[in-house]
Amino acid sequence: MIHLATGLAVRDGSVLLVASRYANHPQPLWNLPGGRQQPGELLEETVARELLEETGLRAEVLGLAYVSESYAGDEHFLNATFVVNIRGCGVDGRTERDHVAAVEWVPFEQIAHRIVVAVVREPLLAYLRDEAPRRYAGFHDAGITIEWPDGCE
């Protein structure tokens, strides 16, 4: 099982998103900032680290928003999405990750068009619509395969 953590930062009707490049996709894919948990790391530590690496921004983790899981073939992914408070005002575009193509505050009404992967999009939209019972989303088929960059264990 692969454990992932993502950060949900909301400001002025927009959500902080990153566009990441993957070898097996011609265009960058938009997602919440986040990534794989490292050994010995708590998930809330993962999200703070990944957010800093991918956006250059520091975040305070406020709490769990929702959990989602999916399968891509035999790989099982478990993702915890945390509400975070961004320290600072803007996005300066500096990241420590070569695979990050863009970092933007995206208005709520554009999210459904930016995030093309249902396993990412649907739980996020349900949360933003404040559908309280939908704090968990499961997908037997992720509908996408990601080739992780070398060194992402």
Instruction: Determine the pLDDT at residue 96.
Output: 55
Residue type, 98: D
Task: Return the structure tokens found at 31.
Answer: 């997602």
3-class DSSP state of 58? strand
Q: What is the pLDDT of residues 52-77, one digit of tens each?
A: 999 999 999 999 999 999 888 898 99
Instruction: Determine the pLDDT at residue 91.
Output: 61
CA distance 81 to 65: 6
- Domains in the chain, CATH or no CATH each: 2-139 (3.90.79.10)
Global pTM value: 0.83
Question: How crowded is residue 57: how many other Cβ atoms within 10 Å of its Cβ?
Answer: 22
Instruction: Determine the pLDDT at residue 98.
Output: 76
Whether the Cβ atoms of residue 56 and residue 76 lie closer than 8 Å to each other: no
The arithmetic mean of pLDDT across residues 32-55, rounded, is: 95
